[in-house]
């Protein structure tokens, strides 16, 4: 479960900022990742609940910005979202000359709401 190591890295970042910025409590962590990055929000929340015990982030809420999968067609230039399993075919012109251009973004801490 790689979510444990990712959450531990987030908490290390939080503690580093807490030392530098002198805040006492984290209320919300806003994080972002791509839909195809193989991260499970419920696993992240569970790992966060367990690992945040005894830290400034204990009891904080995680807010997720899950970036959609996107394809760009080399034939017609159209960009389109993939809601289900990505078909490697352009929904506009049917070409198979497509490139995955979104949805694989790594986990990023975007914002913290702190006291």
pLDDT tens-digit readout, 82-96: 866 667 788 899 999
Nearest to 24 by CA among 59, 62, 48: 59
Average pLDDT over residues 45-69: 97
Domains and CATH numbers, the chain: 3-69+103-114 (3.30.2320.50)
Query: Is residue 50 over pLDDT 80?
Result: yes
pLDDT at position 86 is: 63
Predicted model pTM: 0.86
| Beta-strand runs (E) in 1-115 | 26-34, 61-67, 69-73, 79-82, 98-102, 108-114
């Amino acid at each position: 479960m790689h979510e444990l190591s990712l959450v531990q890295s987030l908490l290390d970042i939080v503690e580093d900022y807490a030392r530098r910025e002198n805040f006492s409590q984290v209320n919300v962590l806003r994080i972002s990742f791509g839909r195809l990055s193989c991260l499970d929000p419920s696993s992240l929340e569970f790992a966060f609940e367990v690992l945040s015990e005894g830290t400034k982030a204990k009891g904080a809420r995680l807010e997720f910005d899950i970036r959609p999968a996107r394809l760009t067609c080399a034939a017609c230039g159209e960009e389109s979202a993939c809601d289900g399993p990505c078909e490697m075919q352009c929904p506009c012109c049917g070409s198979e000359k497509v490139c995955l251009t979104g949805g694989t973004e790594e986990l990023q801490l975007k914002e913290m709401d702190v006291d």
